[in-house]
Amino acid sequence: MKTLPVALFVEGLDDHMPVRPLRAALAQAAGWPAESGRTRADLTIYPVHEDWAAASRWYEVWWTHRTVTVASPWDETEAYPEVTTVRIERAAVLPAPPVIPLDQRPAPPVDITHLTEAELTMLGGEDRARETAERQQRIATANDLTVDIYDWAAYAATVIDQLDVPPRSLTPGQRAAAALARYLDAQHAEIATRASALSMTANALEAGDLAPLDHLDRTAPLLDPTLVTERPVAEVIARTTQTPQAPGRRGRPKIGPTINVAYPADLLDRIDALVEGPEESRAAWLRQAAAAAVARAEQRVPVQPDW
């Protein structure tokens, strides 16, 4: 199997020439990098609209790179960023795939076992019924206009030869645009991973399986200081860091020296709105927020360049 030096993508568009069989055949014929290039342009195959397609032009191959654009809001109240593909230069035009000759197209065996005795008699017996079914099958095969009539495997082999070209380097600006696209991808991945972690933490609370999370009071502020303000994480921390009371003593164990801090009334109202449940207090919430802020201020992780 041949391996292409650059990433290859096949874009699917409504009312355009088919891409699913092409994509599947290309994957069987060659391999290529799974991710978009950082310093190199990608190759993207675009189908031609069915109204403009000709036998000599079913697909176009373009050098492309990814970037971030502002999407026009449809059901959203505000515009939002999204990753899109920018065409740099057309690399090739691909013709229609070859059609498999009629006598070489696979056809299932004719089955007449579903016919009743009355139907077989009407058709002139079993042999005549089989001949009729075979003739209908030949007519259906000759009139078939689906993607199954094309030799996608042979077509993919010729396409891969055309795509096996030297890589094209991105300009500094194009590299920056591609890096911004990866940055947005990372943001989306972080949001999804954070939501998954909170959901799994809530499941652990419900199951009472907190032993693997007994270090959460130390790791959560380092991972994301805002995690300690989320109810599942805060409750796990509260349950795994409780200090046993000494016998004969009553009340909450002493946490540390008391300090008096004045807060604006509107800020206290916003904090109270975040405090949930009878087991959580304003003071506990403020302690967790302060711990998160300190952890964030103390954390010094050097940023590695993404190249």
Confidence at residue 128, expressed as pLDDT on a 0 to 100 scale = 84
Show the low-confidence residues of the chain (pLDDT under 50): 245-246, 248-251, 301-307
**Alpha-carbon span 232 to 118, nearest angstrom:** 70
Confidence at residue 279, expressed as pLDDT on a 0 to 100 scale = 56
Confidence at residue 306, expressed as pLDDT on a 0 to 100 scale = 47
Confidence at residue 75, expressed as pLDDT on a 0 to 100 scale = 59
Confidence at residue 260, expressed as pLDDT on a 0 to 100 scale = 67
pLDDT digits (tens, 9 = 90+) for 24-52: 999 999 999 988 888 999 999 999 998 99
**Alpha-carbon span 231 to 274, nearest angstrom:** 9
Task: Give, in degrees to the nearest 5, the angle at Cα 102 between 99 and 103.
Answer: 125
Residue 85: φ, ψ to 5°: -110, 135
pTM: 0.66
pLDDT digits (tens, 9 = 90+) for 212-250: 998 999 999 898 888 888 999 999 999 888 655 445 444
Tokens of 214: 């007994």
Confidence at residue 73, expressed as pLDDT on a 0 to 100 scale = 65
Confidence at residue 15, expressed as pLDDT on a 0 to 100 scale = 78
What pairs with residue 71 in β-bridges? 80
